[in-house]
């Protein structure tokens, strides 16, 4: 017991000091506190009414933030890790800050087991499993096994799973409490896909799966011709999707009824994020009207398509950390933008993934005819990106390589067009944010200030 108290107070002291030194967003307090008491997460969560874990490859930050905001709006005292600090030290840092009734924890899929061994979560939401930093979690099927092992420590938890992702649904096999969410066929569904795919293999008989249609990457409506396994029926299903320039509208059908949702977040992947958060909230008996209101106002957090204004330019900062993220990021931006400067900031540090070959798994064909007037490549792997563009068939007289990040922003600002988009890998995101802010850029959306 003494060890736990010591861990909590030293953790809080470190937290106070690091704030005082203005080093926000650090996981240091949790890291130190876990060194003192390795079981600290268990003690810190034992008094919560509900603990909800959000994990998966893409969309976990947006899903967790939206869910936390919905639950807050319904009157609950919610604790959640807002800054994407999703490894055990980051989760612990969040839990140290102050106690609450409900914890919404975004947890890195690869280190989930360290959390589930201690935290008796009531619900686990899994967004999707896509190719991501494969040099770290080298193959998805191994990741599926790791997640399965992680879930075995919390057999009572309700799983909220993406029905359209066969790798995710394989985690629901032989489990008792499973709810599925997914998309019905809609105007965005495609018969074929040009993206590199995972999840072709039936989780039961290990024969190839077939697809009736795709939504993006390997998410879609699949079935196994050999053994009859198929996409499970979704308890929470989206239909009648309407996309317009500024918003996406859709119906969400669920066992007790139907709600109409409208979001300002672009792209099919955000429909999934809204769906995952809303399904979980409905499962927790939050009133549909509360969900509708929060979804309507919600905007994404740091860098996941954040807009800045600087020197009469609108600059969009977008995180791209894997092939699917880059493919759909480009699709979203290009279909919505006028003439612009594109900047690709590619690093290969630990958090980015050391191997940049993923750039070649992304579908960048849309760039060939996109309305850009200049493409800038920056970062430690600026050259790799330029080669990728060259072989896609981009005209190289409109591509420049400026590895140094400050210099790349100078180059961007020297162009006369009024729009720019910066696609960054993880470690470049904070860096470009800092560079833009230092130069006086104003972010268009203060981070969820209207709701939290």
Partner 1 sequence: MKLRICHLYPEFLNLYGDRGNILVLKRRAQWRGIEVHITQLSLGDKLDPKAYDLIFLGGGPDQEQGVASDDLRAKGPWLKEAVEEGVTLLAICGGYQLLGQYYRTNSGETLPGIGVFDAYTEAGNERLKGNIAIRVEELGDETPVIGFENHGGRTFLGNASPLGSVIYGDGNNGHDQTEGVKYKNAFGTYLHGPLLSKNPHLADYLIGLALQRVYGEVELQPLDNSLELEVNRSVYQRFLSTKGKW
Residue 79: which of 93, 58, 89, 62 has the closest Cα? 93
Is 207 near partner 1 (CB under 8 A)? yes
Nearer to partner 1, 19 or 206 (CB): 206
For every residue of 118-144, DSSP letters joined together read T---SEEEE-------TTTS--HHHHH
**Stretch 396-435 residues interacting with partner 1 (CB under 8 A):** 396, 401
Beta strands in 145-197 (DSSP E): 158-162, 178-183
CA–CA dist 251, 95 (Å, integer): 35
| Count of residues that interact with partner 1, criterion CB under 8 A | 36
Query: Which among 81-89, 202-210, 410-418, 442-450 is the span making contact with partner 1, rule CB under 8 A?
Result: 202-210
* One of 386, 420, 429, 436 touching partner 1 (CB under 8 A): 386
What residues pair up with 126 in beta bridges, in sequence order? 55, 161
Residue of the chain from 2, 20, 245, 391 that contacts partner 1 (CB under 8 A): 391
Residue 393 touches partner 1, criterion: CB under 8 A:
yes
Report in angstroms how near the CB of residue 400 gets to partner 1 at its nearest.
Answer: 11
- Residues 328-357 touching partner 1, rule: CB under 8 A, are 349-350, 354-357
- Using CB under 8 A, pick the residue from 384, 415, 430, 443 that binds partner 1: 384
Reported for 432-439, long-range contacts at CB under 8 A and 24+ positions apart, including other chains, are 432/317, 432/345, 432/405, 433/302, 433/303, 433/306, 433/317, 435/405, 435/406, 435/409, 436/308, 436/310, 436/315, 436/317, 436/409, 439/310, 439/409
To the nearest whole angstrom, how small is the minimum distance from the Cβ of residue 243 to partner 1?
A: 28
User: Contacts with partner 1 in 354-373 (CB under 8 A)?
Assistant: 354-361
Instruction: Please report, for residues 12, 14, 29, the alpha-carbon distance to residue 8 in angstroms, rounded to integers and kept in the order given.
Output: 6, 10, 9
- The answer to whether 210 contacts partner 1 (rule: CB under 8 A) is no
What is the footprint of partner 1 within residues 133-162 (CB under 8 A)?
134-135, 138-142
Look up residue 431 and give its DSSP letter: H
Binding mask 263-302 for partner 1 (x = CB under 8 A): ----------------------------------------
Q: What is the C-alpha to C-alpha distance for residues 284 and 273, in angstroms, rounded to an integer?
A: 17
Token pair in block for residue 82? 């807002």
Q: Closest separation between CB of residue 354 and partner 1, Å?
A: 7
Query: Do 1 and 82 meet the contact criterion of CB atoms below 8 Å apart?
Result: no
Strand partners of residue 211: 222
Q: Which of 345, 344, 404, 406 is nearest to 375 (CA)?
A: 344
Q: Which of 198, 237, 306, 352 binds partner 1 (CB under 8 A)?
A: 198
Interface with partner 1, residue 196, by CB under 8 A: yes
Binding site for partner 1 (CB under 8 A): 134-135, 138-142, 196-198, 200-201, 206-208, 349-350, 354-361, 383-384, 386-388, 390-393, 396, 401
């Amino acid at each position: 017991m003494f060890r736990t108290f010591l861990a909590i107070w030293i953790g809080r002291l470190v937290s106070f000091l690091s704030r005082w030194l203005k080093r926000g967003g650090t996981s240091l307090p949790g890291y130190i506190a876990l060194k003192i008491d390795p079981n600290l997460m268990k003690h810190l969560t034992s008094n919560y009414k509900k603990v909800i874990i959000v994990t998966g490859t893409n969309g976990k930050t947006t899903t967790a933030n939206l869910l936390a905001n919905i639950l807050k709006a319904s009157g609950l005292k919610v604790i959640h890790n807002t800054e994407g600090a999703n490894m055990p030290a980051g989760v612990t840092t969040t839990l140290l800050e102050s106690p609450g009734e409900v914890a919404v924890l975004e947890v890195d899929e690869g280190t989930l087991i360290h959390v589930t061994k201690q935290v008796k979560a009531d619900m686990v939401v899994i967004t999707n499993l896509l190719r991501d930093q494969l040099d770290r979690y080298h193959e998805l099927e191994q990741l599926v096994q790791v997640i399965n092992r992680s879930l075995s420590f919390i057999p009572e938890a309700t799983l909220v799973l993406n029905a359209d992702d066969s790798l995710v649904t394989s985690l629901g096999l032989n489990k008792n409490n499973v709810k599925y969410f997914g998309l019905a066929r809609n105007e965005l569904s495609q018969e074929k896909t040009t993206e590199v795919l995972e999840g072709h293999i039936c989780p039961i008989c290990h024969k190839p799966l077939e697809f009736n249609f795709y939504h993006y990457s390997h998410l879609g409506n699949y079935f196994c011709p050999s053994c009859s396994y198929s996409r499970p029926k979704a308890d929470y299903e989206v239909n009648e999707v309407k996309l317009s320039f500024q918003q996406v509208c859709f119906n969400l059908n669920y066992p007790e009824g139907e709600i109409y949702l409208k979001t300002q977040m672009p792209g099919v992947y955000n429909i999934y994020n809204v769906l995952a958060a809303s399904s979980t909230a409905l499962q927790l008996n939050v009133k549909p009207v509360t969900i509708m209101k929060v979804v309507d106002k919600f905007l994404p957090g740091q860098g996941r398509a954040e807009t800045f204004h600087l020197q009469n330019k609108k600059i969009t900062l977008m995180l791209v950390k894997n092939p699917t993220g880059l493919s759909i990021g480009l699709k979203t931006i290009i279909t919505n933008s006028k003439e612009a400067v594109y900047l690709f900031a590619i690093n290969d540090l630990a958090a980015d993934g050391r191997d940049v070959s993923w750039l070649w798994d992304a579908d960048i064909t849309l760039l060939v005819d996109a309305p850009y007037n200049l493409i800038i490549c920056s970062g430690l792997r600026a050259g790799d990106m330029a080669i990728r563009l060259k072989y896609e068939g981009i005209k190289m007289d409109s591509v420049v390589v400026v590895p140094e990040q400050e210099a790349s922003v100078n180059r961007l600002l020297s162009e006369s067009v009024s729009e720019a988009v910066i696609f960054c890998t993880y470690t470049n995101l904070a860096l470009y944010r800092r560079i833009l802010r230092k130069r006086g850029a104003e972010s268009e959306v203060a981070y969820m200030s209207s709701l939290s």
